[in-house]
């Protein structure tokens, strides 16, 4: 059976190689393909509590929390009070696989039942040289024979102050040397270290040494926690992490990558990592990466009081509850399958279109968007790339269905070549027709003759560019027979209508739509001057694609008209970087859609040189973002190094949960641009998709959707399958289906109810 699986896998790899690489096939390229390795994907869970969770611990597969000085156990995504547990609990910790409770009434150990082991009020425990040590505010005790023995030597502690030393090695003290006041204890490099308020000391069996640091000092006197980790001893403070290495103290601050310097607690991770609690969320510190987990996206509250780590799971105690982050083995292929299932279970699909969801009266509703074609285009392209890679007939079926929806946007209007922004059912849609259109103007809705539908006008350049991008890919990779003719005719109609009207998109009133303008009278005058580069690029893509597919001379003439207007000259600097009000992130997507379409159908070397110069300039601006969409299109068009590994890491960082929670990054202490990159648009930080909800705009620091929106995961699907098609991402090297697919779940719905209205008209067969 195992041999059969291996043979099947090998056949699949061979089968995959038969598809794709017909678009921009560069036999030699400077980029190196990335392995789709098994990685650990974060899964979030939040438990809300009435009172702050002040301490948390993990022991033998179970997790416990302290709420209002009582111990609770986490079970089945909720917490319940532990019966017969001690009261007045301040902390719970796991030492040598044993659970301890530090209370005002003494120290308790859990062994099937809670047992009082010492009546003193302890502040910390640690393992040192194979033994358990406990600390009160003033003393340290060693656990021996089921009791705690004070480690103070006979005759008292010695000081490290050399002026106290007598010739015979003894010391005389006017007052006894104290080991306290103690906040934390830790074993580091075979020595017991004591954290006092704003001070670090060590104990070597006789001497309490306060004078062992040769270089550096604590970053703040406001110390919080201490953690021994390999050759380093970490101390959390309100001004960063102090790190002891040997006799040297250094500080990790925002400029080093620490998202927030006001740190509160520390914990060892499960993969040679360290977890850091802060007053603004939790931070995972890896060897070459910092990962931030903030409130709402990952945690119930910002202020982190304690962290406990189990096997591939992290529990984070906050003032508003517990954040649980589970790590599950994934591949990018499995993630793509997961998101395809999400599209079905959350109800993002409707009549071939893809929709985001929003919450209305505490109910998820499919948004009838301002841009149905633009939202559907990435999914259509994704399924085209997937079919080209795998030959999966289900992917082809999905592509054909979305292609027909795109056609319908043009066929529903009474004017050949004019496409609708959106289509609304009078009986089947729970969302209402939007009242606003482009730029805040009143929306333009038009009824169909049969009374079943309304379609939205005032169509913009965004919609047109989306159609040319996705439908041309469908034509080249998927379409068969009549489908190919329909795709060609669809783009011919749109381009012809625009050119026949003097390079404007006329609405039903005979006037140009607000943003559907590519004519010189608009772009080369003050009102439209700022858009001359990107709109000129779009127009050239329309004309080139239409001519390549139809060979009609009117499109060649239309392209020449654009050249005569000087649009070629403006193409190079199409990307606006200043002033800030002229920077529109969505224009970058339109530009890359246009590059992909335009260069595919351009054979003239001189024209290509201009477009490639434009692409190189734009890529240099976008390069620091690591967004796969831009990386992969650039690499596909140029064969140059496109930082594949950065893009793949970006895909791995995307959250499985597509709900658009609030996020705040503008007050972080690590607001700097990654070395080796330049921000040409004034950005101060590139935000990981793990830390925000804006897939294609990592320059966005803050978001306020209040958890009332669910973004469709089609951008991930598009970028993953594009990466697979062009070979940037290899197929997973595993035959374990659990790592490459997800089980389908019949009848599962989490978001909007299934569409229940009239079917899309059958006008294509």
Q: Which of 729, 666, 670, 665 is nearest to 289 (CA)?
A: 670
pTM, two decimals, is: 0.94
pLDDT, one tens digit per residue, over 386-398 is: 999 999 999 999 9
Which of 54-58, 143-147, 165-169, 689-693 has the largest mean confidence?
A: 54-58
pLDDT at 304: 98
Q: Give the DSSP letter of residue 166.
A: -
Let me know: does 250 contact 258? Beta carbons within 8 Å. no
692's CB contacts (< 8 A; 6+ apart) are 297, 663, 665, 698, 700, 703
In this predicted structure, the answer to whether residue 17 has a pLDDT above a threshold of 60 is no
pLDDT, one tens digit per residue, over 544-577 is: 999 999 999 999 999 999 999 999 999 999 999 9
In this predicted structure, the answer to whether residue 12 has a pLDDT above a threshold of 90 is no
In this predicted structure, the answer to whether residue 7 has a pLDDT above a threshold of 70 is no
Q: Which fold has domain 331-739?
A: Glycosyltransferase (1.50.10)
Higher-confidence position of 3 and 512: 512
Q: What distance lies between CA 43 and its chain's CA centroid?
A: 12
Average confidence (pLDDT) over 608-630: 97
Let me know: does 454 contact 445? Beta carbons within 8 Å. yes
Let me know: does 665 contact 656? Beta carbons within 8 Å. no
Average confidence (pLDDT) over 22-50: 93
pLDDT at 174: 64
Average confidence (pLDDT) over 170-177: 75
pLDDT at 311: 94
CATH code of the domain made up of 40-162+176-330: 2.130.10.10
pLDDT, one tens digit per residue, over 191-223 is: 999 999 999 999 998 889 999 999 999 999 999
pLDDT at 441: 84
Beta bridge partners of 142: 133, 149
pLDDT band at residue 505 using 50, 70 and 90 as cut-offs: very high
pLDDT at 162: 67
CB atoms within 10 A of CB 682: 11
Per the structure block, which two tokens stand in for 184?
A: 């934390």
What is the CA angle 713-719-724, rounded to 5? 125
Cα(284)–Cα(274) distance, integer angstroms = 6
pLDDT at 2: 42
pLDDT, one tens digit per residue, over 238-276 is: 999 999 999 999 999 999 999 999 999 999 999 999 999
pLDDT at 584: 85
User: Mean pLDDT over all residues of the chain?
Assistant: 94
Cα(116)–Cα(69) distance, integer angstroms = 17
pLDDT at 27: 81
* Domains of the chain by residue range: 40-162+176-330, 331-739
pLDDT band at residue 694 using 50, 70 and 90 as cut-offs: confident
pLDDT, one tens digit per residue, over 482-497 is: 999 999 999 999 999 9
In this predicted structure, the answer to whether residue 8 has a pLDDT above a threshold of 60 is no
Cα(610)–Cα(591) distance, integer angstroms = 14
Average confidence (pLDDT) over 423-434: 94
In this predicted structure, the answer to whether residue 435 has a pLDDT above a threshold of 50 is yes
């Amino acid at each position: 059976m195992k041999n059969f699986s291996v043979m099947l896998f090998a056949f699949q790899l061979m089968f995959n190689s038969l598809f794709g690489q017909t678009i921009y096939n560069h036999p030699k390229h400077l980029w190196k393909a990335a392995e789709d390795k098994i990685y650990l994907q974060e899964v979030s869970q939040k438990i809300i509590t009435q009172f702050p969770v002040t301490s948390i611990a993990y022991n033998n597969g179970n997790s416990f929390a302290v709420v209002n000085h009582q111990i609770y156990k986490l079970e089945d995504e909720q917490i319940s009070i532990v019966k017969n547990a001690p009261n007045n609990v301040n902390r719970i910790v796991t030492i040598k696989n044993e659970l301890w409770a530090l209370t005002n009434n003494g120290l308790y150990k859990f062994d099937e039942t809670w047992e009082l082991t010492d009546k003193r009020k302890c502040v910390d425990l640690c393992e040192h040289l194979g033994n358990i040590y406990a600390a009160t505010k003033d003393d340290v005790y060693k656990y021996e024979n089921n009791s705690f023995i004070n480690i103070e030597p006979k005759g008292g502690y010695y000081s490290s102050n050399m002026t106290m030393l007598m010739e015979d090695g003894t010391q005389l003290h006017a007052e006894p040397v104290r080991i306290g006041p103690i906040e934390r204890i830790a074993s580091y490099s075979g020595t017991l270290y004591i954290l006092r308020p704003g001070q670090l000391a060590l104990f070597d069996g006789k001497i309490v040494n306060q004078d062992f640091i040769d270089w550096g000092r604590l970053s703040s006197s406001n110390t919080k926690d201490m953690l021994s980790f390999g050759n380093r001893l970490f101390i959390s403070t309100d001004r960063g992490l102090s790190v002891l290495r040997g006799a040297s103290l250094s500080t990790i601050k925002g400029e080093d990558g620490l998202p927030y310097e006001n740190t509160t607690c520390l914990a060892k991770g499960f993969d040679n990592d360290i977890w850091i609690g802060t007053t603004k969320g939790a931070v995972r510190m890896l060897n070459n990466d910092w990962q931030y987990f903030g409130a709402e996206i990952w945690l119930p509250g910002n202020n982190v009081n304690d962290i406990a780590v189990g096997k591939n799971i992290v529990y984070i105690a906050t003032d508003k509850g517990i954040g649980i982050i589970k790590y599950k083995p994934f591949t990018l292929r499995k993630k793509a399958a997961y998101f395809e299932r999400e599209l079905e279970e959350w109800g993002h699909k409707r009549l071939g279109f893809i929709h985001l969801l929003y919450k209305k009266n505490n109910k998820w509703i499919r948004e009838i968007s301002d841009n149905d074609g633009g939202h559907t285009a990435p999914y259509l392209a994704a399924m085209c790339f997937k079919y080209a890679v795998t030959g999966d007939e289900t992917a082809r079926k999905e592509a054909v269905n979305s292609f027909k929806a795109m056609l319908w946007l043009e066929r529903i209007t009474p004017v050949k070549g004019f496409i609708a922004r959106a289509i609304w059912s009078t009986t089947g849609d729970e969302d209402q027709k939007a009242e606003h259109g482009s730029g805040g103007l009143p929306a333009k809705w038009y009824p169909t003759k049969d009374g079943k539908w309304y379609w939205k006008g005032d169509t913009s350049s965004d919609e047109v560019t989306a159609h040319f991008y996705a439908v041309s890919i469908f034509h080249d990779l998927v379409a068969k027979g009549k489908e190919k003719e329909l795709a060609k005719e669809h783009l011919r109609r749109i381009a012809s209508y625009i050119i026949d009207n003097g390079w404007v998109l006329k609405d039903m009133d005979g006037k140009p739509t607000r943003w559907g303008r590519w004519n010189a009278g608009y772009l080369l005058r003050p009102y439209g001057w700022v858009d001359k580069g990107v709109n000129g690029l779009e127009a050239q893509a329309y004309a080139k694609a239409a001519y390549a597919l139809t060979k009609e001379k009117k499109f060649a003439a239309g392209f020449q008209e654009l050249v005569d207007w000087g649009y070629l000259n403006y193409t190079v600097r199409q990307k606006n970087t200043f002033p800030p009000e002229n920077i529109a992130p969505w224009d970058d997507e339109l530009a890359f859609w246009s590059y992909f379409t335009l260069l595919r159908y351009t054979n003239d070397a001189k024209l290509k040189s201009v477009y490639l110069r434009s692409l190189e300039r734009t890529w240099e601006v976008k390069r620091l973002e690591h967004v796969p969409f831009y990386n992969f299109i650039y690499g596909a068009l140029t064969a140059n190094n496109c930082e594949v590994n950065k893009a793949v890491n970006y895909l791995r960082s995307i959250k499985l949960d597509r709900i658009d929670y609030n996020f705040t990054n503008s007050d972080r202490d690590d607001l700097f641009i990654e070395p080796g990159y330049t921000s040409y648009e004034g950005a101060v930080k590139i935000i990981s998709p793990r830390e925000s909800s804006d897939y294609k705009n990592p320059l966005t620091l803050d978001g306020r959707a209040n958890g009332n929106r669910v973004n469709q995961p089609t951008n991930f699907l598009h970028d993953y399958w594009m990466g697979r098609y062009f070979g940037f991402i290899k197929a997973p090297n595993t035959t374990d289906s659990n790592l490459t697919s997800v089980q389908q779940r019949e009848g599962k719905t989490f978001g909007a109810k299934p569409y229940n209205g009239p079917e899309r008209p059958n006008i294509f067969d």
